Chain A
Amino acid sequence: MSPTRSTRGFTRWAVISTALVLGPVLAACGSSSATSSGPKGSVNVALNTTLSGSFGFFGLANQNAVTLAIDQINRSGGLLGKTVNVEIKDDTAKPDVASDETRTEILNDNIVALFGPVSSSVALAEQTLIGRYKIPFMLHTSNTDKLTVQDFNNYTFSVVPNTGMEGRANAIAAAKLPYTSYYLIGPDYEFGHSQLAEFKAELQKLRPDITFVGEDYPKLGATDFSTYISKIQAAQPQVIYSAEFAGDLITFLTQAKSTGLVGAATSPKLMDLFDVDTLRNLGANAPTGAYAYGRAPFFAIDTPAMRTFVSAFKARYNIAPSDWAVMAYDAVTLWADGVKKAGSFDGTAVSNAMSGMTFNSTRGPLTVRSIDHQVNCSEYEGALQADPTVGFDSFAGVTAIPGSQVLLTPDQVTAARSAG
């Protein structure tokens, strides 16, 4: 018997008024429960990343990659039979905003994983929260080693080479070069100081004959490097080793080129972080021939998983994925594998499952160490070359310095933790 119009109207009214009365009551009770699930048959994860300001492009790459990854998961039946919803929020690189968002997501939306921090102060703020509420925390951009060494907790995982690994890997690459005088320059914050310090210590160890003729830390977002350039010129190094990246790197290059510090025949060699987004932006203005290091440049990594990912990313977004996108994608892969292995979304179970696990990433098989949940990913070293197949400069003569060569030993990690 089909309902008549008036019956349907009445039913609708009854449903609405019941909802209005019971809704707030249910909301008050329901959301204080600790079980994790949103609407039936789905779970929530959060991507809190920096979508604004001069690091906006990091967040955009993260957003693109994570969305793609989650969509792929959902299209193949979801995770443990449930659809995964990803909440994307802009943390504006402010720790208080990030804390507020994260806490709301944890308490209201019962997220089961957190991705995305870019700035280290945001990452540290979020790490405290996820530790308390036991939510798996995936680091794929922010790479200060404080996160996995001194401030480590069981729920933190990193698929990006941390500052120590990066500095040491670059030192290994630099040690092979025939140069003996270096000038160090990096942005004035945790990343710059930490990475440069690791590089210097390791290079000094490998090549005691090298002298460091100068060291400078321009403020992050500096717009005028000319005095620093003068200082470098005065010191006459053979190599400029730099941790400047993204916008600051581009400013530095523009000004260095216009003073002949970079790009002229008599210029010192430059060694710097060139990620795919920056190379794409520089286009023909990239300093061809400069030594480059990167964390996950797709053109230097030839695995079936990478090829599949690159074509899927290009199909959807019309550009090749940058290093940040690659690592964000790997982070989702790791977490999803952890969920499948644990058979549940429970934070502790998933974390225990991920610890010690080897998973198949776009960068090849990677293992998650149990001491610090850092994967043994590689740092990629080469020299910039024009590359018509890619459309912007890529790395010539690429070597991947494997994580195993540059990770701190478990004893060193323990020592650093008790000292700090």
Chain B
Amino acid sequence: MSRTVGRRGGAAAVLLVALATAPLMLNRGDQYTAGLAVIAILFALSYNLLLGGTGMVSFGHAAFYGLGAFTVALVTTKALGNATEGLILAPVIGAVGGLVIGALCLRAVRLYFALLTLAVSQLLYVVAFESYSLTGGDNGIHGIPVPDFLNDPTTSYYFVFAVVAVLAAVLYLVTRSPFGAALAGIRENRQRAAFVGLSVKRYELAAFTIAGSLAAVAGALYAVYDQQAYAGLLYWTQSGIPVIMVLIGGMRTFLGPAYGALFYTVLASKVQNTTIYWDLIIGAILLAVVLALPDGLAGLPARVRALVARYRSSDDARLLIADDVPPQPDDAPLIQMPGIATAGNNAEHAATPAGAILEAHGLVKRFGGLAAVDGVDLDVVRGTVHAVIGPNGAGKSTLFSLLTGQLRPDHGTVIFDGADVTGAPPHRLARRGIGRSFQTTAVFPGLSVQENVRLAVMGAHATTRQPFGTVSRRYQSEVERTLELVGLGDHARVRAGELSHGDQRALELAISLAVKARLLVLDEPTAGMSPYETRRTMEMLRRVIVREGMTLLITEHDMEVVFGVAQRVTVMAEGRVIAEGTPEDVRADTEVVRVYLGDESLLAAGVSR
């Protein structure tokens, strides 16, 4: 890890030195182009805060560039201000624009968000184009007056360079802060981020605002450097340029976009106007990057190294697998969970409302004409394991979504720990102490195991609001303790996406622990696991629940798990509860048997005992 840092730091230093000494080595015309390249670097870095940093795909970033350029143009030509005032006002305008446009666009998600940014920025283009008296329409505004020192090519280059260098450094610190870590979490797994207590939309809006503000500075610098601003800067295909720069340079590292910006600007300057093949060339490069080099130029050294390593030996270059404990024979006895009642002790653990950590009353959720959940009551007693079972389509997942805030019920209430939390969004429930895992594992795959847990810890402590300060050793002891608890202590540095399925489940549990969940809602925790992994997972859950005093609400298809673990079972069918009680009660219920008629697992589970 530190070797990468050293290498990256070295590359950054080289880049800085090269840019700083460019005027000395280039002739005056190329020096001018170098200034444009530096401005493009800021534009690309601002875009990557959204793309690489937060996972937001915007196709309207050029609108902010244009806003910044026109701020300077209008301040100097219409408002009788000077260029410096324009430059100071630009980021403010950009931030306001980012807030307004972001609030508007973030009402849509993912793909629709991207299209919405395109529509909004194109709308702004039309307005700029038609407002002849304000913006000069298709002509634009030219001959922007600038202070004398900016008329010299060398001084203006250094001015632009200084501004961009400072802003880039600030942006770098922000990406390394807890706030930046939160953005990374949102990028890695948006849904999961909500479940560690991050109000995702607010963070995305903040990122959008910052990115817009920086892009506006880039536009303002352009207006000052080139002394013009025109409507075409906002046209939608201009928004494709930062995308190209970031992709070519690489979105996974901080400086990747900088390399991309340099590459694109220099190439465009040399090639674009001397040949009719420009579109073909840049299109081919972009396509090649997407197909073969997804991490861009910045990822090229790593790619090459990986290829070389693969050639060298097929054994050593295996991806790290966390789970290398030898498999147990399949007929080992089922894990018993001492301290938790098995079938037969039901009387002592009859649920009483007074001891309930979660209560649901009369929950209804309809989709179209279909009631997926049709009047469900549920009481989960503190410190117990409560299982919800039922055939496919019974409404179990919908019920869980209602309980954890992903869906709002049409009717009914949810009470957690005495407080009414009906309809509260996931991140707020997470902060109250409900942790959820999903049918598909939800970790932050690009982050290391300990970064995953650390993010959860920071979310729980609401530290992620801080945009400054480094993240790497924060809460380290808490992180390590949590990892030990789930048996991942040795894998702290492994990328979460490379863990085995069972280990990812363990990591999920670690994340839930880190957010101090008191109720753990698990959707089929052992789905897709081998018998060995199933046992291991249940063993880990036992350990954790007993030690931390958590409550567990699960849904499962594996009846061995249900009957071996649960103290209370709720049976659902067609959106309603058809039986509730101890595992024994439920198994004997004729209605349940009828519903499961033909389902061997229920009967088999009984037979094997």
Contact = CB atoms under 8 A, between A and B. Distances in A.
Most chain A Cβ neighbours within 10 Å, of B31, B226, B273: B273
B228 A95 contact: yes
B423 interface: no
A107 B28 contact: yes
B410 to A, nearest CB: 47
Contacts of B32: 100, 103-104, 107
Interface in B263-308: 269, 272-274, 276
A121 B27 contact: no
Interface stretch (A3-11, A26-34, A223-231, A408-416): A26-34
Contacts of B228: 95-96, 99, 124-125, 128
Contacts of A95: 140, 142, 228, 230, 232
A146 interface: yes
Nearest to A24: B25
B420 to A, nearest CB: 56
A94 interface: yes
Contact of A52 (B30, B31, B276): B276
A104 B272 contact: no
Nearest to B235: A94
B137 interface: yes
B153 interface: yes
A100 B25 contact: no
Interface in B16-69: 24-33, 36
Contact of A104 (B33, B139, B142): B33
Q: Which range contains the number of B residues in contact with the other chain?
A: 20 to 34
Interface string A91-120: 110111101110111111100000000011
Interface in A145-164: 146, 151
B143 interface: yes
Given A89-B274, A94-B232, A97-B273, A189 B29 contact: no
Contacts of B153: 107
Contact of A128 (B24, B30, B222, B227): B227
| Interface SS of B by simple majority | helix
Q: Chain A contact residues: over half helix, strand or loop, or mixed?
A: helix
A196 interface: no
Give the interface size bracket for A toward B. 35 or more
A151 B138 contact: no
B28 A89 contact: no
B230 to A, nearest CB: 5
A24 to B, nearest CB: 8
Nearest to B130: A188
Contact of B142 (A91, A103, A106, A128): A128
Contacts of A124: 139-140, 142-143, 228
A133 to B, nearest CB: 11
A144 B139 contact: yes
Nearest to B32: A103
A109 B230 contact: no
A125 B73 CA distance: 13
Residue among B226, B227, B276 with the highest chain A CB neighbour number at 10 A = B226
Given A95-B228, A104-B33, A107-B27, A90 B140 contact: no
B142 A101 contact: no
A32 B27 contact: yes
A119 B138 CA distance: 9
Of the listed residues B138, B226, B233, the one surrounded by the most CB atoms of chain A closer than 10 A to its CB is B138
A105 B151 CA distance: 17
A104 B269 contact: yes
A127 interface: yes
B132 interface: yes
B276 A51 contact: yes
Contacts of B226: 96, 99, 125
Contacts of A97: 272-273
A90 B279 CA distance: 13
A18 to B, nearest CB: 20
B137 A127 contact: no
Nearest to B274: A89
A116 to B, nearest CB: 12
B270 to A, nearest CB: 10
B272 A92 contact: yes
A215 interface: no
A152 B273 CA distance: 27
A216 interface: no
B292 to A, nearest CB: 28
B27 A189 contact: no
Contacts of B273: 48, 89-92, 97, 101
Contacts of A127: 142-143
B29 A109 contact: yes
A346 interface: no
Nearest to A131: B143
B140 A32 contact: no
Contact of A108 (B30, B143, B151, B233): B30
A82 interface: no
Contacts of A193: 132
Contacts of B222: 96
B230 A31 contact: no
Interface in A186-235: 189-190, 193, 220
Nearest to B27: A31
Nearest to A127: B142
Interface of B: 24-33, 36, 132, 137-140, 142-143, 151, 153, 222, 226-228, 230, 232-233, 269, 272-274, 276
Given A90-B273, A124-B228, 19 more contacts: A28-B25, A89-B273, A89-B274, A90-B272, A94-B232, A95-B228, A105-B29, A106-B29, A107-B28, A107-B32, A108-B27, A108-B28, A121-B140, A128-B143, A128-B227, A144-B139, A151-B142, A190-B138, A193-B132
28 contacts: A24-B25, A32-B27, A32-B28, A48-B273, A89-B274, A90-B273, A90-B274, A94-B232, A95-B228, A95-B232, A96-B228, A97-B272, A99-B226, A100-B36, A103-B29, A104-B32, A105-B29, A106-B29, A107-B31, A119-B138, A120-B138, A120-B139, A121-B142, A124-B139, A125-B142, A132-B151, A189-B138, A193-B132
By Cβ-Cβ distance, the 5 closest A-B pairs, closest first, are: A108-B29, A104-B29, A107-B29, A31-B27, A107-B28
